[in-house]
Chain A
Amino acid sequence: MTQDRFTGVGLGLRRAHLEPVSQMEGHGVPFWETCPENVVGDGGRHHRLACAILDRDPVLTHGLTLSVGGFDPWDEAYIRDLGRFLLRTGTPWHSEHLCFTGVDANCLHELLPLPFTREAVRHTVSRVRELQAQLPVPLLLENITYYAELGASDMEEADFIAAVLEGANVGWLLDVNNVYVNALNFGFDPREWLARMPLDRVAQLHIAGHQAFGELTVDTHGAEVIDPVVELMQWTLARLGRPVPVLLERDNHIPDFDVLLAERARLQLAYEATMTLVEAHHA
């Protein structure tokens, strides 16, 4: 079954690691996550390496700039190419961020927060439904870190996310590090926050490192995952009671591949320890 290929802790496929990964079949990484924006329409040596790996190993896809909460017309040519790419990789779903990335046909290349308002929920729900209708696989939305609320809110972030997921009837890519970072920046309890969310919609988790800059903690994806975030991942997996795939994100200060493999192995152990407890509980 497709879904069985996607358990345990996977890694993002990074340009810096293409060489070692392509030469290594027994790397032990159960699946890769790849950003179609970086592969579709590209060419040359790195592109060929990436395609060879994506054709060989299990893959999940994760988009960056479709701007699901934005207003710009869809780039239909790109969405067609994206659909073909998703089918080629065999990914069971495609994830995007619950945010906007462009305004007035200009791409800002940053995950920007949507207003926590009923109007923004209505708008985003209809956009997500439009997008889903154009994709050959189910769409997941990921909760982002945010550093400011955009305009005066009429609901909390949690209610906003839940309303969009339910309204658009899509799955959730739950980034536990983003919840943790938001909890630090806005002063709430991440477990209480998670407990009120529609966890039945979660199909995948993200986990990553972050860094504090003065008062503010930023989701840099540039450091090792700290223990409290690993514990939050375990808490979430236990609560879910099923083995959804976890993806370790590392986009900055990318270490050598063997260092990243070691971190993956550490997270995999934590993952398995939790799943053993879950199975014992169900038995």
Chain B
Amino acid sequence: MPDSRTLRLQRAMASLVLDEDEAALEADPGRVARRQGLSWADQCSFREQGAGMMTYRELARMSLVEPLETMFPVLKALLVEADTWNACIQAFLEARVVKSGHYRDIAPAFLGWLAASGWGQDRWPFLLELAHAEMLEVVVARFPDSDPPMGLHADPGPEDLLVLDAATQIVSYSHAVHRVTEAAPFPEARPTHLMAFRTEGGEARLMELTPATAALLVRAQTGPLGEVASSLNLPDLGPIFTLLRDFYRKGAIAGFQTSS
């Protein structure tokens, strides 16, 4: 069945909002209708209402770009400085990757597109890490609430596995992307390990970890704490357990589980 006129009109509107280069559109708003094979009458309608059509372009773009400006202020500052922010946004919009009807999913869609397309990363090898770090705390803060897993205890033992809180994320970057600001958006190149977690009150916190602690937190989710610690050359479990109890109190660790 050929696509209906209603669908082609909607596609023309989407193209008008997302695709066209603005100058060409200003010159002839009817071209998006023509490209969808719409009738002369429909093309004329787009032309006659050029101003209203351009308002839709402005409004819809604002809806899609505002959450990116809020979520990625440092990334934006960097790209504005290099005069490439608009090109980045245009490439993102044309890729049509915003699938979800949840407004909060627009920024993650942008991050996913950045990862998949590699956009700008030849020039700025840290760009993806920077965007990831800018979003990290928000993702953790808004992670869907769920009941904690059953059967965990509060005190770690050498045979135990550790269970992170569902919202907690351990990330490793090759740049210190958590230290950048809008005024100084270029991160130093050095391995950086972070833990982002949510407090009992539901607020996100960021904590820098040593490489060994980061490795321990990742590996002790699948191997007994004692074994993992000794494989990391951390023979003294006392200070490790003190640290883990502290992470448990802060809400980053959900608890400990006897390994079977």
To the question of whether A and B form a pair in one complex, the answer is yes
1/0 per residue, CB under 8 A from A, across B144-162: the answer is 1110000000000000000
Q: How far is the CA of A109 from the CA of B201 in the complex (A)?
A: 31
Q: How far is the CA of A37 from the CA of B101 in the complex (A)?
A: 7
Chain A 31-61 residues near chain B, CB threshold 8 A: 37-38, 40-48
Residue A149 at the chain B interface, CB threshold 8 Å: yes
Residue A209 at the chain B interface, CB threshold 8 Å: no
Partner of A38, one of B17, B18, B97, B104: B104
Q: How far is the CA of A41 from the CA of B142 in the complex (A)?
A: 9
Among A46, A78, A103, A117, the most chain B Cβ lie within 10 Å of the Cβ of A103
Q: Are A147 and B60 in contact (CB under 8 A)?
A: no
Distance in Å from the Cβ of B55 to the closest Cβ of chain A? 4
Q: Are B141 and A45 in contact (CB under 8 A)?
A: yes
1/0 per residue, CB under 8 A from B, across A69-102: the answer is 1110001001000000000000000000000111
* B contact residues, total (Cβ < 8 Å): 52
Partner of B99, one of A71, A106, A123, A148: A106
Among B13, B98, B202, the most chain A Cβ lie within 10 Å of the Cβ of B13
Residue A114 at the chain B interface, CB threshold 8 Å: yes
Q: How far is the CA of A147 from the CA of B146 in the complex (A)?
A: 43
Partner of A41, one of B45, B52, B102: B102
Tell me what chain A mostly uses at the interface: helix, strand, loop, or mixed: loop
Distance in Å from the Cβ of B70 to the closest Cβ of chain A? 12
Given A70-B10, A119-B4: A104 and B142 interface contact (C-beta under 8 Å): no
Q: Are A149 and B41 in contact (CB under 8 A)?
A: no
Residue A197 at the chain B interface, CB threshold 8 Å: no
Beta-carbon nearest neighbor of B41 in chain A: A152
- Chain B residues with Cβ below 8 Å from A110 are 17, 56, 59-60, 63
Q: How far is the CA of A42 from the CA of B143 in the complex (A)?
A: 7
